[in-house]
Amino acid sequence: MSGSLLQGTLDLLVLRVLVAGPQHGYAISRRLMELSEEWLNVDEGSLYPCLYRMEKKGWIRSESGRSENNRKARFYSLTDAGVGQLEVEREGWQRLQRAVGRILKRA
């Protein structure tokens, strides 16, 4: 089975990872890999457009800071709108999961 991400799922995953607190792009990417036990193929080149897109929509905010090795990095954190959007995305995903499950059971 392919480990590639379903279209639009990256937003949900990034929002969920950011619940833990502000993180930079690389940390988000690493966390996604760890949580999926290296199974999910998060396209790292797509991560930043996704982060910018969500920032434009007001779901996340970004600010400059220093990373663990004292390098300048941009840290992303969830906004209130982002918390609400996470719930919407989560519900959408669960509905999709149930629908796919029903199809697989009955077909």
Partner 1 sequence: MRRVINALREWMQLRVRLRDERQFHRDRATADLRALGLSARAAKRRAHGRLGSRQHRILALRELGGDWAGLIRLFLAHRVHASPSFQPMALIAGSLLILLLSPAPRLILESVAGQPLAAEDRGAVFISNQARNLTYVGITKADFESIQSLHGLTKLERYQSIHARAQANKDVTVAAIEAMVRMRTGNPRLRAIPLFERHAIVMGPAKAVWRLLAFCSLFFVAKFRSKRRWLGYGLAVGSLHALASLMTWALAIQLWSGIAWSTDGRALLGFLFLSAVYLGVVALQCHVWWRDLRRRCPRCLESLLLPLTEGSTDCFLLNSATTESVCAHGHGVLVETPWASRFRPEQSPLQGLVHG
- Confirm or reject binding of residue 20 to partner 1 (CB under 8 A): no
Largest CA distance in the chain: 55
Considering only the stretches 13-21, 39-47, 77-85, 91-99, report the one whose residues sit in contact with partner 1 under the rule CB under 8 A: 39-47
- Confirm or reject binding of residue 26 to partner 1 (CB under 8 A): yes
Listed in sequence order, the residues at least 6 apart from 84 whose beta carbon sits closer than 8 Å to its beta carbon are none
Q: Which of 18, 50, 49, 47 is nearest to 35 (CA)?
A: 18
- Confirm or reject binding of residue 43 to partner 1 (CB under 8 A): yes
- Residue whose CB is less far from partner 1, 39 or 105: 39
Q: Is-contact 3 41, C-beta < 8 A?
A: yes
- Residue whose CB is less far from partner 1, 65 or 107: 65
- Shortest Å, Cβ 100 to partner 1: 28
